[in-house]
Amino acid sequence: MFYKRNPNGYELVLEGVEKKTLVYGENTLLTEFRLSAGSVLPGHEHPHEQTGYLVKGKMRMFIGEEEFLTEAGDSWCIPSNVRHSAEALSDSIAIEVFSPVREDYLPASRG
């Protein structure tokens, strides 16, 4: 699968948080998140391992019992079934890989 950059196709997940699945395969799925300053991803967990990279901005992340102040260029890996949350301290863009593939993130044409 190949993805050519396209400014369309973002989906509102929560107030101030948009996502777009870029590419996916048998075992992984790559998603871009755009977060507006002040937006919050509430605590949650899922069976997918989640590896991310902050392209732009600053975020406060909570992974398990730990708190991290992330800035552009920082990365993380959240094990499956570990509670995590985030707050965008400035407008931010994060790229994240999920394994196994998050079925709920597949484009409508496949899901």
Per-residue pLDDT of 84-100, as tens digits, reads 999 999 999 999 999 99
pLDDT attached to residue 109: 53
Q: Mind listing the domains of the chain with CATH numbers?
A: 17-105 (2.60.120.10)
- pLDDT band for 108, please (50, 70, 90 cuts): confident
Chain segment 24-83, per-residue pLDDT in tens: 999 999 999 999 999 999 999 999 999 999 999 999 999 999 999 999 999 999 999 999
Measured CA to CA, the distance from residue 74 to residue 71 in angstroms comes to: 6
Q: Check pLDDT > 70 for residue 19.
A: yes
pLDDT at position 82: 98
Token pair recorded at residue 21: 């699945």
